[in-house]
Amino acid sequence: TLFLDEICEMDIKLQVKLLRFLQTSTIQRVGSSRTEQVDVRVICATNCDPAVEVAEGRFREDLFYRLAVIPVEIPPLRERGRDIALIANEFLRRFSEEEDKPFQSLDSDATLALMDYVWPGNVRELQNRIRRAVVMNEGAILTSEMIGSLSGERSISDQSGQVENSVETGVSKILDNMSMDEVERYVVDRALMRENGNVPAAARALKLSPSTLYRKIDRWAS
């Protein structure tokens, strides 16, 4: 099985080579003059909408149809409902073993808080949040106090409603008491909201590389 992550970020020239490989099932090793037949299953993943990438000329249409045999759409974490609690408990089990801690489960308040949060950093943000709580605390039950405030972390993006609903307030009044880091996070949160949590799309809108934006999200989540 060959897994290709962030397939829509692939350079156009490399897409041509991948298409040729998919059509012929052959490869030519570097330094070799002969082709070899290979038998692999190809699985691809992307945070982008492939149809949009095709329409805007960033992804080859013929490659898209070659790959889109069995498409599987995975919704962002904020739309996963009870799955959030299941994933959080799995992280809790894993990190408790790694850190030799006795944690067994989350309490009800912690579970509700996790399910109510919008998770702009998706699963990676949840993973970092649970890891930090395990490292910094002791006990059998992980409480909401151990996880820390999540509602406060949404306040910057929540302020976007003030911009949209009260024009006379002005953007300057929202930004007046913010640090540079908070302003940057506000702008990133707005971009993620516009792109429905799609990090590569938000990165393009902000004229950043996806890896740079992922690093910023990881830093804010840790």
Domains of the chain: 2-67 (3.40.50.300), 77-150 (1.10.8.60), 153-221 (no CATH)
Spatial distance between the Cα atoms of 59 and 157, rounded to a whole number of angstroms: 31
Label the pairing between strands 36-37 and 141-142.
unpaired
Ranges of the chain with pLDDT below 70? 151-178, 221-222
Give the residue from 56, 74, 9, 184 showing the smallest Cα distance to 192.
184
Report the pLDDT value the prediction gives residue 160, as an integer from 0 to 100.
43
Report the pLDDT value the prediction gives residue 81, as an integer from 0 to 100.
85
Spatial distance between the Cα atoms of 162 and 93, rounded to a whole number of angstroms: 40
Spatial distance between the Cα atoms of 180 and 140, rounded to a whole number of angstroms: 39
Phi, psi of 3, rounded to the nearest 5 degrees: -105, 125
Q: Is the dihedral of CA 59, 63, 64, 67 positive or negative?
A: negative
pTM: 0.54
Helix ranges (H only) for 70-179 are 83-99, 108-116, 122-136, 144-147, 155-158, 160-165, 171-175
Label the pairing between strands 2-4 and 42-44.
parallel
Phi, psi of 53, rounded to the nearest 5 degrees: -65, -40
Report the pLDDT value the prediction gives residue 22, as an integer from 0 to 100.
92
Q: Is the dihedral of CA 97, 103, 108, 110 positive or negative?
A: negative
Q: Which residue has the tokens 């912690």?
A: 110
Report the pLDDT value the prediction gives residue 175, as an integer from 0 to 100.
60
SS (H, E, C) 69-85: CCCCCCCCHHHCCCHHH
Report the pLDDT value the prediction gives residue 163, as an integer from 0 to 100.
35
